[in-house]
Structure formats: structure tokens, C-alpha cells
Structure 1
Amino acid sequence: MSERLTGPISTYRIQLTPDFGFAEVAALAPYLRELGVSHVYLSPILQAVPESRHGYDVTDHSRIRAEFGGIEGLRALSAALAEHGLGIVVDIVPNHMTVPVPESGNAPLWSVLKDGQASPYAPWFDIEWVGGKVNMPVLGDDTEPVADGGVLRYHDHEFPLPDTHYRLVDWRRGPGYRRFFDVSSLIGLRVEDPEVFDATHRLILELVAEGVVDGLRVDHPDGLAEPRGYLARLRAASGVWTVAEKILVGSERLPADWDCDGTTGYDVLNRITRLFVDPAGAGPLLELFVKHTGMPHDYATVVGQSKREVLDLFFAAEVDRLHAVVGSDRETLVELLAAMPVYRAYAVPGEPVPAESAAIVEAAGRAAAARLPEGAPVAEVVDRVLRGPAEAVTRFQQTCGPVMAKGVEDTALYRWYPLACLNEVGGEPDHFDGAVEGFHAFAREMSPTSMTTLSTHDTKRSEDVRARLAVLSELPEEWAAAVGEWSSKVSFDPVLDYLAWQNLMAAWPIGPDRFFDYLFKAAREAKTSISWAAPDPAYEAGIRDFVTRAIDGCGASVAEFAARIEPYARSNSLSQKLLQLMLPGVPDLYWGNEITDFSLVDPDNRRPVDFALRRRMLAGQAGTPWDEAKLLVTTQALNLRRRLDPAAPYVPLEAGEHAVAFARGEQAVTVVTRLPAGLARRGGWGSETVTLPPGAWRDLLTGAEHTGRIPLAHLLSAHPVALLERE
């Protein structure tokens, strides 16, 4: 199939829910067109659990979700958007389906539970058949399953009778199938099988061929048996712009042989965030963190400990299954998994191992050997997972990602947080090195087709929360004094309190229910006192009491601190937004973030958006100064992107320590402020200048005209950012 278009210019992510479906999105079409985006980017649209608020729990690949309006509602949405020059990008979920409650809600799975390996759907699922049965982890108390009307019931669970093809086991045991991370309610699909690929993608590909869908976002490709092969098959079948939710760590880059247009942008998000963090604050903030929490100075120590803990707590079944095909020593295998520094190393069975892949796994082997008894068969295990039986190579690759996700994203990042804006998906919280030169080097290599982002449905904190937190790196003494004051009045658990103070300030104003929900989740993810699997009602009551006392007793002081740093946070907010929108790539705007949004991790960041407010502001009604400025920056940049050549090169411009400036070819210039508190301390811009490329330039934010060498004090007098277009 030939490629229909080169891809979106920009996208606007919408979180569809049973309360906000296709008709509600269609009503936004005039607003989104005026905002400046080219495509609406929809969360998953296939039929999921009816009450699902996210849609990743797919139950039926042959239907568009009824709660959103079904396929006719989607076609109507496509037509409504097309009237305003807008297209649709959709989020697809190839890695898994849901195990619903009752289980009869997933017809292919029900067939497998009923008929076992004889089911025509048995090839769909990545199941470990033991004695012809699959373990289903649902049992949790002394209640016995009961036969009722031809089915076996256990609380709300439902299974076919006779129970020949499945085995009910304790809910804490790993299931007899590959799952999404440690979520037993999501069962892995075998899309490497061409028939499974065709069956699970038929409807989406029909919508692409029909012109309803213009682009695809692929959820969690690292969970698949062979991501490269999957993406090649998808591209051949669809021919449209496609990005992959690939989490890159450090200097890691997207595999060059993946047939897609780029990532969903976490790599860019983390680079931008670090640009606004003052490395001089690293030492003081680390000491403050250790003082308040008692945690180690070394992040790597916490990561290693966290990964070994989750391997023991959650992944025994996965390790057992992997060990059965790798052989050798189980402890060595566990240590090798814990030492892997990335989500996947991309060895493919039957192919020569890429040198980079071998280097990653061999380095992990050396790290593992340092913790193992002398003589442990490390080299043997490394060789088996790189060059051994096909299942050993594939299973190791598929296990690394869940261990990284649960050990780092969902454990270590909740334990080690000297500056929580760095604790993002794919982030490195011990790296404060946001040098301008390094940023320019990164930006010069950015793809014009890869997605860029600042906030998503999965970020730990919204972009404006991170903008406030970044200021703390410039004011560590003032922050230490404030936290000292608050902690002297209200305390609960040292390993949680300091995270609470950072997020209470950065998300302010926030009510007790939202703040409790965040802290409760953070405590369960950290797993230092409670976890999802080990609740403690007394500890949970303690969190609730802490939240009440913190807001009642310290809320006024927290509000005062947030107000005091607002000029700097606002500068960071506008600067990072303009950078993201003007860098090479396809900028994605997470719904609502065209003005300020102070959301924390999901489900907080999936709350309804007040579009009526945003429409009024876009029509000219006044809002807060910060909101007005962010909306101005967003609309002007997005609309300029419609006029800008996507391939326009990134050209750095010299602008000193406190500014980042670059041109996009000969069409546009972006100038933003960084480290604004330090800039204020030194007395402002002084005599610093930026030299514009030849020609006459107009600032789209102020209307002012400029040429040649411009004092930064003049250029940035109205806003901390400037967006210039050649006249």
C-alpha cells in the first residue's frame, strides 16, 4: 500500500471516556482548528471493558467502542473534523487484550477457556500450557467456586464448565500467560502470528484504507515478540505515519531498522526538562533529600534494589518460564535481568547479534557477576539469551521491559526523588546536566517526523508541575527552609513526606481528595510500607491524616511559596512549551495543556478538561496572566508550524547562559529563557544580545519588528520567550 500522506503537522491528544466520546470531540473541531493543530490523536477506540476510563483493556478487535458512538460515530467524527481540515491519529494496542470480570466479556478468551488448545483462538494468546491447562490467578479467600447455570462462578468471576482447560490459582501467583507488566488482567497477544495480526488489525486497517484514520500510535511495542517485524508488517499494511511508544534511556536511540516515523516523545520531554534544571542545585538538593528520607545518595543502588524486589514480588512466574528455556542458573538469570539498563536489547533469533545489543547484555552480565558468587555461569547465561534457542532469546527480551517498568518507573522513581521533575518516564533523576550545547547537539539530530511531547496520559507530573519543580534547583536554600518549616509542623513517614511536600507545592492549589489519591498511589508504588499486594489500613489512615494536617496547617505557607516562585515557574512553563512546539518533529499537545495544568500521575491527569473556559479564552475573554500567555504561545506556535517546512533544519544561535535560541531554516527563530531565578539574581540580561539571521523578523507574540543584533532585554521585555517569523 502506498503512503497516503507524510504525516501530521501537530496532534492534540484526547482521552476518550464513556462520558466524552466521538460526538463531544466533533464539537471541538472549530476550536482545535483555531488552536492550530492538524490532527486529533485519540486514545484507543476499539471495544474495551464498558466502564474503562482509558481503553487499553480491549475486549473485541472487530468493533469500535459502543460507549464512544460506535463505527458510525467515528465516521461522523471524521467528517466533522475534515470540514475543518483536521485528521485523526489513533492509539492501537497490539500487545494485549483484557481478562475481564466476568471473563465471558472477552469472546476469544472465553473460547480458549472453554476449549483449550482446540479453540481456534488458542494461537491468539501467549499461554504456557501445563498439562493442557492455563493458570488463572483469581482465588483470594476461603470462598469456594460454585457451579451455576453451566458456568463456574467465583465472586464476580465467571468460567465455562466443565473446567477442563483452565486451573484457578491464588491471585498472588503469576498467571499461565504473558501479561502486560505485572497486570494479570491483561493477557499477551501473539501478533507475530500473521493470522493473529490480521484478525486483530483488520478493522483499524479498514479505517485507514477508508480515509478515516491518518496515523497510528503503537502502544508498548517492547512487549512484542519481535517489534521490528511487527512494525514492518504494520507499515506495509497501513502506509501511514506511525510512531512507537518506545522509552529511550540516556544515550539510547530508536533502532534504525524500525519501520516507523519515530517515538512518542519521552526522549524529547526529558531533554527539555533538564534544560531548565540548574546543575548547581544537584548537591544541595541531594543532601536535603537524604536528610529528610534517609535514602541512599546513590540512585543506581536504589534501582538495583528495586528491580530485584519486583523480580521477587511479581515476576516469579515469568522468571520460571524464562529459566525453563534458558537453563543454567536461576539466580544468575535474575541478576542479569536486574542489571539490564534499558527496556530491551533487540537480539532477534536466527540473526547475527548486533554489536550494540551484545554490548548492552554483556555489560549487564559484568554488573551481575559483581553480585554473584565466584564461578557463577554468567557468560553462559549471557550467551544463551543472545544466541540460544529462539524462545530463550525472545522471552528474555520480553521480560526486560516489565522489570524496567515496574522496577524503575513504578518503584525506584517513587523512592529516590531529590528533584521530582526529573523522575519522568525514561528519565534519569541523578542527571542534572542540562547544558545548552548538549541540547543543541541533540536537537540537530531530531527527526522531523518523530513526535515530541511535554505531557501525556502516562507522565508522572504535568509539564507545569515540572516547571515549578525545576525552579527548586535554582533556590535550594529557600526550598530547604520552607520544607523545614512544614516538616516541623506535620510529619508522617520520612520516605514519603518529602515527595509529598514537593508535589503539594508544585500542584497547588490541590484539594485533599486529589492529594490523598496521589500520595496513596505513590506509597503503594514505592512499596516501602504498603503496596498494591500488601495493603495496611492503619498506614492508609495515616496518609489521610497527613494530607488533612498538611493542607490545613501548611496550605497558606505552601500557597505563598508557590506564588513567590511563580514568575520563574511561568518563565519555565512558557519556555519549555515554545521549545517543544518549535523543535523538529511533530508536537503533541495533551488535552487541556494549551493553558496551565497542574495534574499529577494518572488518574489525576485524566480528569475532564474545561473546554468551555478554553474556548472563551481563545475567543478573547481574559484569564489568568499565565493562562493567557501560555495560550498565546501555543496558538501562535501551532499556527506557525502550519506555515513552516517540517524539514527546516535546526540552526543554533548564540544567546548566552540564560537563553536558548535557534532558527528553523530561514523561516522562524525561537528564543526562550532558562534558569530565570539565576538571571534575576544577576540583575537581568545586561548587555547580552542575540543576532538574528539576515532579514526582517516579526515577533508573533508582540507584533514587534526586529533585525540584526537585538538586546535580549528588549526582545524579551514583554514575555520570557520570543517567536519570530521572517517577513
Structure 2
Amino acid sequence: MLKKIIPYLSDIGISDMYASPYFKAREGSLHGYDIVDHNTLNLEVGTEEEYHGMIQELWKYGMGQILDIVPNHMCITSKENAWWMDVLENGPGSLYADFFDIDWEPVKIELKNKVLIPVLGNQYGLVLERQELQLVFESGDFFLYYHQYKFPIRPKTYRDILQHRIHELKNHLPPEDPHLNELLSIITALNHLPSYTEKDPEKIAERYREKEIIKKRLWNLYSENHGIKTFIDENVNIFNGVTGKPESFNFLDNLLNQQIYRLSQWSVATEEINYRRFFDINDLAAIRMENPLVFRETHKLIFKLIREGMVTGLRVDHPDGLYNPSEYFQRLQKNCFLYKRLDRPGYVTDTSDREAEILRQYNELLSKNSQRKAFYIIGEKIFIKGEKMPEDWPVFGTTGYVFLNFLNGIFVETTNAKIFDDIYARFIRSKLNFQNIVYEKKKLIMELVMSSEVNTLGHYLNQLSEKNRHTRDFTLNSLTNAIKEAIAFFPIYRTYIKPSEVTERDRRYIEIAVSKAKRKTPAMNESVFDFLKDVLLLKYPENFKDADQREWLDFVMKFQQVTGPVTAKGLEDTTFYIYNRLASLNEVGGSPERFGTPMETFHGQNIERSKFWPHTFIATSTHDTKRSEDVRARINVLSEIPDEWREHLTRWRRLNKKNVVIVEGQTVPDPNEEYLLYQTLIGAWPVEPITGPEYEMFKKRIEDYMVKALREAKVNTSWINPNANYENILMSFIEAILNTTRRNKFLKDFQAFQKQISHYGIYNSLSQTLLKITSPGIPEFYQGTELWDFSLVDPDNRRPVDYSIRIKMLEELKRSEQEMLLSELAKELTINKDNGKIKLYLIYKALNYRKANREIFERGDYSPLEAMGEKAMNVCSFVRQFGNSMALVVAPRFFTRLIQQPERLPFGKEVWKDSVIIVPHEETEKKYRNIFTGEIVATVSYKDATILYLSEIFAHFPVALLEKII
């Protein structure tokens, strides 16, 4: 299929394919972020031959490939993760022990030199006595299986299995029996294995060597002698116990107590997990990318692909989780520079000399420009409220969430904020304060799902306090609470403090957080917060030793790794499912308390991006967005018509009251959930009528989404403790209100209103698509969004895309271009806009124009254009200019004010009245061609200004990209 998709992507103007991770992931992975081997291709995605075929096809069309990479974590619940399996077998003495961020001396003394693994579906004792834990012997190794999970048995403890009933075996075999003696020799060898806590390199090497020899000997013995095989098999069966006889599981219990891991119930172990996770996902363990060896071992394949020209750019997933992100990016750029040049002709033959020469060139470039960027790299970084990119990150930008939220915001009617506050408060019978919710939910996250990380920080800070007589009296509890309060008020995801370097930016954020924490908890001694602030700002006491300074710095670095996940979980994955005033604003990197974006702010952001980050990604939908761009475009329409929204909400509540169930005095769904459901239905409703299986599938999508939304909100149900009864009642409510019987007055009323909203939402979507394509930055298109896409949060937005429909539509558009006037085609597409072909046409025309005029959009200036007239507030317009080349962009908004009757088209003087855009004075008597319609519009002079009439610009198409031709 790729051989058809790649030409299609090239035809619509795509320059680079942006690929999610395709290195070896957990079996059955749906996204590729749960990597088990960084240096092997994922065969479930495709073979190496198929991969090379894809690359050849990309090269054929002059396309590149941006690859998403995962430097922060690995999946640890797959037996295919050889590094993690080695750690579980060899503990702190493993060759890979330092690859993972494990605390081998955690707070809980019972976990010293162990790893807590929370994978059990019930309490350990119950799981054990139900025989869900099974000991097995495979090819010389003993393993423990728990359903699909596989855990190695520590080699030295093999003796416990092999020695059991050994006297019985001796009684059955003569003392001189060679097989018996070999077994006894193996047991002796096991007894002499160096300890798994041994750190001496020679002892570690000895243990690795000897244990493998022992395994081979044991397997040979097992394979050659039936008596020994029977003996081992019977012992394995004995260790696995007998259901109904609790005492029979003592053998396996004792064996497991000696292992390097301790298995526990997944839902109750959050306070004691002693490996750093990716957010709160137990299956994903953080790796220590600050370790040069880890960096080298995880990037071998990446650099090979870069060297061979197969990968032309990198998207780095979650750099905020790294110990030192700037150091990582600098190391990454340095190596990309090196590997891109290693195979070039003209270098000396010796590899080490070649590397030295290339790195000398790189250092010379850095001395001239410290921000030298050798390779196209972007980082998945989320900003909050005016936060800037760290200055020392050698990247081209981010994945585009800042642009997404500012762009989305200009389609929200900001003047209606207070009206929506009232509508929302009256419907849910409560007045919510966004910042209060953020504070409360960040605290909740630290108490429920990330308590181990916070408790570890508390104990670490307590150790630091003991080093000084002025701080040693602080209690562990007070220090831990101070950390929680400061993180709860942290205004950004994380700071980027490095050794002996605290920027003014980071200082300000830390002082804000600590100051607010102080005011929130007046009962706590202020000096506790002052101590925390001093530590975070690296204000070392006088005469502090170097070792003590390193400990302070290490605490700060680890603190920084915690604030990001807590913020993400508390804000994006909790608060955004509770504060539902206008759900389209609840987006990654967004600030829902701000009701939209002023136009001047949008232009200001674009100007700044054109100067400092002209090659950053700008996006409208990604695999992580809470709603697709087209869903948001619909919901935004509600901001324009608050009175109608209020009226319909009131009517829908009354019509659906009979479907609400009261359980223990609580309504199901609660008003806030009902409010979210109505917005979700408005945004996700199919654009064209569906029936039968398709309608049932849509209902299932809504049900699945609402269950996820409620669990994320953690109010009436949650992932850790699902309330099945509540969720089932909610499903019944959704089923009832979406019932297609004639008696369902709600559905009839809803569909009529939704159709109206959808009409305006389509125009919103077209405008935001054009603005993305033409604004400063590199426009990114998520799979399938060339047509209308009404997907919700993952996994809904990761459904397969039918490219055959898109390929066919593009072919039809190309034929129509040849057979019709562009103006006629443009109007016909607008009339039939529901099928989505109009969006594909816009993308196809605008991207190819951009491709043919790259300098205008990649290097050109950006200037906002002023509008005048009755509809001046209904357009966003700007000019992109490079030299004598110029393109004008005009995108309407607030369509409910332009066309009161949904069936009307937003064209002509009757709609746009006397409204105009003002173009630069030097453009007097100039003509422009609309690339979508082929029509020519000319400037005229009006009151000392040079103008273009919007009624002429929008004669046959809802948006305009105007190319200067004279």
C-alpha cells in the first residue's frame, strides 16, 4: 500500500513522511512507544526488505523522513527486552543495571537490591495460591511465568530447586553415577557463584561466565538423562504447589523471596515502586540517557539510518523526562553531524582519524555559533503561558502545540467568556476555578499515582537536611509536604537547571512556586520552604564540600524530572476532563481558563516564530491531541452563539432527565459529565447520515471515549479503581439518548442543531487549515486529516486510515482541474463540502503552491493586514513576502455572523458588504490571483489606503491565498 500512499502524499504537497517509532516494540504494540530493542526494526511494522522499499519510494519522489525516537524509556513487561531481563537476573551487578533509573537502596528496607514490579492483578498471596505464578525450566534456565509475563530466576537460587529431595535421588542412584555427580557438581558451582550485589568487574565477569556454563551443563544433563529430567520436572511441579493447599506454595514463595524482583499488585504499589517510570505507566521504565554508554547503545541504529540518508530528521519524544535535556540534544546534534559525514569521500582511511577530523570541524562551527544545528531535530515540548524554548537546546523547534492553541483560539469569541462562565456554572450547579482544580489534581496525582517518586524526593531532601545543623530539625513529613506543595504550584512543566547554572527564567518559576506554596500552607514553618528553595536554586551553604554540592544538584535534577509528569497527569490527563466550559480549549499545551486568543496575539506569535523558529513544526492535530482539528472547529462555533447553546442545553436536560439514574443520592451521569457529552456529540457526529452497523460503531466510540474521559477525571471512576456500576449506567444513558426511535425527541432536536453547527464548523476548519499551511513554521498533517476527521483522543484517533478513498478523490480533483474553470470547481466543492473533498483540494493547492514558492514561506517576512468595514472582525489576514514575491492570506472566522442561514454560501457582496483588507501602500494598482479559483482581483485606492474588497476575494471559495502577479 505504501507504493500508492507515498506518490499520493507527494502529489498533495507533502515533503517528508513523519513516522511514529518503528524500532522493536512490545508484541502487539499499537503505537511503537513501548520499545524493547532500540537497534532492531519492528517486524510487526515491516521487514527490513519492506523498509528499504519504503525508503526507495521516498527517494524516488524526493521525500525525506522524520522519525519519532524514544530516548526516555523502554518497555519492561516484555521478555524480549534483553537488558531488563538481564537486570532481573543479575540485579545491581548486571551489566545493564546503570541503564535503568533504579533506586537499589530505596526507602523500604525490604526492597534493598530489589526491584518492585507491580504487575499482579490481585494480591501476591492470592495470585500465588491460585497457581497463576508458574515455575518452568527452559533450555537450562529457570523462569517464572505470570500469564504473558516472564521473569528469570536468579542462577544462584537454582540450587534451592535442584537440592530439593536430593536425598531421594541419591537413594535411587549409586554414588558413582556420573549423572548424579554432575548434578552435585552443578549445585556446588552454583554455591560458588559471586553474589549479584558484587560490583568488582572481575567478579561480575566471573559470575556471567560461570552461570552460563552452569546453565549449559544443566541443560545437557537434563537432555541426556531421563532420571535427572524426571527429578527436575517433579521438583518444578512441587514448587508450583497444589490448589487448596496453601502450605504447598511455601517452596515457591521462599524461592521468589530470594529473587531480585518483588512482584506486587499493580494498583496498590505506587508508593513503593523504586524504578523511575514514564509518567505513571508501570510497564515503561526510564533509562538513564545521561549515561554515555546508554546513549551510544540506544542510538546505534538511528545513526546508521542517518548515515545512509534514510532518516532526514528526528522528533524526540518527551525530552522533559531526561536528566539533562540540553546535554542530550547537544550530544545528539554532535553525533548526527559526525555520522552524516563519515562515509563521504575525501576523508582519511582510518576511522578514528576521520572521526577526529569531523569532530574538529564541528567544534570549530560551534565556536563560531553555539547554536549551530547540524541536523533537523525537533523536541516534543509543551509550553505554558508564554514560556520560551530553553536557549541552549540545539533544535529547530517543537511539535507545534503552541501554534495549535493560538490558532484554535482565534476561532473562539473571546467577548462571550463571562456568558459561558454563567452557562457552565448553571448547568453543572457549581462554579469551578480552573487554577484551583489544577492545584488539587496535581496533589491528587502525587498522592495516588506518583507517590513513590515524591516520597523518594522527600527522603532525599531529608538526607540533605541532615548535613547542616540549621536544617536537620526539619521532619521528613514536613519536607515531603513542602515538595508536594511546590510542585502543585509549579507554573510550568519543568525547569532546566544544570551544574552551577540557574537561569533567571528558572529562578523566577521556582520563586513563584515556593511563594504560592508558603501562602497556601501558613501552618507550616516558612523555613522548610526556604530550605527547599535554596536547594532548588543551588544556594549552597558556606564551606560546602564538592560531594555535598553534587548531592544537592542531583536532587534538583531528579526534582525536575518529577515536575513534568505530575503537571502532565494533573493538567492534561485530569483537569482537562473536569473543566469543560468549552471543551475545544482543553488541548495539550492549552490554557482553558483563557477564553480564546486575541487576533493581535496570534499575529505576534507568528512574527516571533518567523524570526526565531521558522522551521519549527506547526500542527492542528497529532496523535496526542484530545480532539481532532475538525472536532474543535465545530465546538468553537458554540462560543459565537451562547444564547442558542443555553437554550438547547436546557431543553436537552429536560428531555433526557428520564434517562438519568440516581445512585446513593448521586445522578448518573453527573451534570459536568452530561455537559461534556453534549459537546462531544456535537464535535464528533458524522458529517453524513449513517445507519445500522456504522451508527452502532459510532455509539461505541462515544461510549469508549466517555469511559476514558471519566476515568481520567478521577471523580466518579478511575483507572486504578474502576466503578463498573457507574460506568454501566452511563453507557445506558448514552444508549437511551442516541436511540433512533421516533419517541426520542432529544435526538431529533440535537441533530437539527448539530447540523447547523457542523455547517459553520466546516468553514472554521478550512480557515485554520489554510492558516497552518501559510503561517511561519513547517505545517504538519496528521494521518487522514486531509478529509473531515472527527476523531477523539487516542485510541480513537489511531484508527486505520482509508487511503484508497483519498487517492481516488485526488485523482478526481486533478481531472476536474483540467475539465472545469477553477472558479466553478471551487464553488461546486463548497456546495458539496460535506464529503470532505474541499479540504483535500485546499491542502493540495496550497501545499503545492508553498512547495513551488518555498522561500516566501520559509524565509519570507510576515506582516498582519488590517481589515476595515462591517465584517472587519471576521477575517484573519496577513502577507508573506520575500524579495519581490508576495502572497496574501485571507481566512474568515465567526461564520454565524456572516451567514445566518446555514444553507447559504459565504460569498459575495451580500455577505461581505463593504469590508476590505488594506495591503501595503506600494501595492497600488496591483493584481493578485487566487490560487484556489484562478480569479484575478485588483487593488484600488480608498481613503489614502490600498485595498482589496473581501466580496471580490470571496466570490467562489471560503478562503483565499492570493499570489501577486503584477
TM-score when normalising by structure 1: 0.94
How far apart in 2 are the matches of 1:41 and 1:371? 45
Number of residue pairs matched by the alignment: 701
Shift of 1:681: 6.1
Aligned residue in 2 for 1:703: 934
Q: Which amino acid aligns with 1:699?
A: N
Matched, 1:358 2:358: no
Aligned residue in 2 for 1:647: 859
**Alignment of structure 1 residues 557-572 onto 2, 5 Å:** 557-572=749-764
CA deviations 1:251-298 (Å, max 9, x no partner) are 111112101000000000000010110012211222222222234331
**Alignment of structure 1 residues 14-413 onto 2, 5 Å:** 24-100=1-77, 103-130=78-105, 131-139=112-120, 140-141=122-123, 142-144=126-128, 145-149=133-137, 150-162=142-154, 163-171=258-266, 172-174=268-270, 175-238=273-336, 239-327=374-462, 328=474, 329-348=479-498, 350-372=499-521, 373-376=523-526, 377-387=528-538, 389-413=552-576
Q: Is the 8 A contact 1:63 1:70 kept in 2?
A: no
CA deviations 1:593-638 (Å, max 9, x no partner) are 1111111000011111121111111111698414122112111111
**SS of the counterpart of 2:79?**
helix
Shift of 1:78: 0.7
Q: Which amino acid aligns with 2:79?
A: S
Matched, 1:620 2:842: no
Q: Which amino acid aligns with 1:533?
A: I
How far apart in 1 are the matches of 2:589 and 2:319? 15
Aligned residue in 2 for 1:468: 634
Q: Is the 8 A contact 1:504 1:558 kept in 2?
A: no
**SS of the counterpart of 2:398?**
coil
How far apart in 2 are the matches of 1:26 and 1:360? 50
How far apart in 2 are the matches of 1:634 and 1:76? 27
Aligned residue in 2 for 1:712: 950
Shift of 1:351: 2.2
Q: Is the 8 A contact 2:878 2:889 kept in 1?
A: yes
**SS of the counterpart of 1:590?**
coil
What are structure 1's unaligned runs of at least 5 residues? Answer: 1-23
* Among 497, 517, 525, the residue aligned to 2:674: 497
Matched, 1:556 2:748: yes
CA deviations 1:677-699 (Å, max 9, x no partner) are 23446974221111345243210
Q: Which amino acid aligns with 2:387?
A: E
Q: Is the 8 A contact 1:262 1:449 kept in 2?
A: yes
Shift of 1:433: 4.1
How far apart in 2 are the matches of 1:314 and 1:333? 16
* Among 596, 619, 622, the residue aligned to 2:788: 596
Aligned residue in 1 for 2:704: 517
Greater Rg by CA: 2
Q: Is the 8 A contact 2:70 2:317 kept in 1?
A: yes
How far apart in 1 are the matches of 2:302 and 2:4? 23
Shift of 1:27: 2.7
How far apart in 1 are the matches of 2:47 and 2:37? 12
CA deviations 1:560-585 (Å, max 9, x no partner) are 11211233212211111100111011
Q: Which one has the bigger helix percentage?
A: 2
CA deviations 1:635-684 (Å, max 9, x no partner) are 11111221221111111111232111111113311100122223446974
Q: Is the 8 A contact 1:295 1:416 kept in 2?
A: no
Two-structure CA RMSD over aligned residues (Å): 1.7
How far apart in 1 are the matches of 2:98 and 2:781? 38
Q: Which amino acid aligns with 2:771?
A: L
Q: Which amino acid aligns with 1:575?
A: S
Q: Which amino acid aligns with 1:697?
A: Y
Stretch of structure 1 that moved more, 119-128 or 267-276: 119-128
Shift of 1:105: 2.2
**SS of the counterpart of 2:873?**
coil
TM-score when normalising by structure 2: 0.71
Aligned residue in 2 for 1:477: 643
How far apart in 2 are the matches of 1:296 and 1:183? 33
Q: Which amino acid aligns with 1:596?
A: W
Matched, 1:544 2:731: yes
Shift of 1:124: 1.0
**SS of the counterpart of 1:308?**
helix
Aligned residue in 2 for 1:8: none
Stretch of structure 1 that moved more, 64-73 or 336-345: 64-73
Q: Is the 8 A contact 1:58 1:97 kept in 2?
A: yes
Determine what percentage of the aligned residue pairs are the same residue: 37
Matched, 1:673 2:823: no
**SS of the counterpart of 1:663?**
strand
What are structure 2's unaligned runs of at least 5 residues? Answer: 106-111, 155-257, 337-373, 463-473, 539-548, 661-668, 687-694, 814-827, 902-909, 940-946
Q: Which amino acid aligns with 1:314?
A: V
Q: Is the 8 A contact 1:304 1:338 kept in 2?
A: yes
Q: Is the 8 A contact 2:682 2:757 kept in 1?
A: no
Aligned residue in 1 for 2:190: none
How far apart in 1 are the matches of 2:747 and 2:19? 37
Q: Is the 8 A contact 2:378 2:398 kept in 1?
A: yes
Q: Is the 8 A contact 1:336 1:364 kept in 2?
A: yes
Shift of 1:324: 2.0
Aligned residue in 2 for 1:531: 718
Aligned residue in 2 for 1:662: 878
Distance 1:369 1:45, change over 3 A: same
Distance 1:434 1:681, change over 3 A: farther
How far apart in 2 are the matches of 1:295 and 1:79? 59
Aligned residue in 2 for 1:9: none
Stretch of structure 1 that moved more, 510-519 or 207-216: 510-519
CA deviations 1:203-233 (Å, max 9, x no partner) are 0111011000000000000000011110111
Distance 1:581 1:429, change over 3 A: same
* Among 601, 605, 624, the residue aligned to 1:438: 601
Aligned residue in 1 for 2:915: 688
**SS of the counterpart of 1:345?**
coil
Q: Is the 8 A contact 2:457 2:480 kept in 1?
A: no
How far apart in 2 are the matches of 1:413 and 1:294? 19
Q: Which amino acid aligns with 2:87?
A: V
How far apart in 2 are the matches of 1:392 and 1:295? 41
Shift of 1:333: 0.8
Q: Is the 8 A contact 1:295 1:495 kept in 2?
A: no
How far apart in 2 are the matches of 1:641 and 1:485? 47
Q: Is the 8 A contact 2:320 2:494 kept in 1?
A: yes
Q: Which amino acid aligns with 2:320?
A: D
Q: For CA contacts below 8 A with separation 6 or more, give which structure has more relative contact order.
A: 1
Stretch of structure 1 that moved more, 451-460 or 371-380: 371-380
CA deviations 1:525-557 (Å, max 9, x no partner) are 000000000111111111210110121133333
CA deviations 1:45-94 (Å, max 9, x no partner) are 10001211100000111101111223332221010111112111110000
